[in-house]
Amino acid sequence: MRTEPARVLLVDDHALLRTGVANIINHEPDLRVIAEAGNGIEAIEAWDQHHPDVTLLDLRMPLMEGVEVVRVIRERDPSARVIVLTTYDTDDEISRALKAGAKAYVLKDIAADALVGCIRDVLAGKTYLAPAAAAKLAEGVTRVQLTPRELATLTLLADGKANKEIASELDISERTVKTHLAHLFEKLGATSRTEAVKVATRRGLVRLD
């Protein structure tokens, strides 16, 4: 006798991609997409309603970020299995997703059978990292750890603000802003603000879009 197929929740803001993935999954006798969601809020609702065996989740969605969704789901059920399926592979996003409790991190250029294999692995209790993602993490052994204030400063910096404006927004002196900036330059290996923004963007610490 055969057991019931594993129940999959599919979350991505691109309907076209959902269709494609759903098709691949439903093609497998042991897997079945039981719900879809197009943003983070819907994802949580769907998860509450269905309690799927595994959730395929995009980061970068409207309304609620993917990492946050992972966190909420794992809060509801610490044994929940979430696979992050995304386009981007900055070391920051990868490590944040894994830290939040994702079991796997795969990129959207993955082949269909590899994705299916990954889902089965995760259902079997294993974890899976896309080679590219693993490499990014490895090189990130020298991971930058920014303090809250440094991150705040960096965010405003990337927004094109001047030191004076940053100081005023954070309600600190311009001198302190310079200190944070000096630390940022140090940690990011940059020598100027524009270079810092470039490096931070590459690493996924801030986003300009």
Partner DNA sequence: CGGCGTCTCATCCTTTTGGACGATGGCGGG
Partner DNA sequence: CCCGCCATCGTCCAAAAGGATGAGACGCCG
Residue numbers at the binding site for its own copies (CB under 8 A): 13-24, 38, 87, 108-112, 115, 157-162, 190, 192-199, 201-202, 208-209
* Footprint on residues 148-177 left by DNA (CB under 7 A): 148-150, 162-164, 170, 172-173, 175-176
Of 45, 48, 40, which is closest to residue 67 (Cα–Cα)? 40
Residue 208 contact among DNA, its own copies, none, beta carbon within 5 to 8 Å by kind: its own copies
Chain Cα centroid distance, residue 121: 20
Q: Does 198 bind DNA (CB under 7 A)?
A: no
* Footprint on residues 89-148 left by DNA (CB under 7 A): 145, 147-148
Min dist. Cβ of residue 185 to its own copies (A): 11
Residue 4 contact among DNA, its own copies, none, beta carbon within 5 to 8 Å by kind: none
Name all contacts of 85-88 with Cβ < 8 Å and 24+ positions apart: 85/12, 85/21, 85/56, 85/57, 85/58, 85/110, 85/115, 86/58, 86/59, 86/60, 87/60, 88/59, 88/60, 88/204
What sign for the dihedral angle of Cα 142, 147, 149, 155?
Answer: positive
**Closest CB to DNA among 49 and 192?**
192
Cα dihedral: 26, 76, 95, 23 (round 10): 10
Residues that bind DNA (CB under 7 A): 145, 147-150, 162-164, 170, 172-173, 175-176, 178-182, 185, 191-193
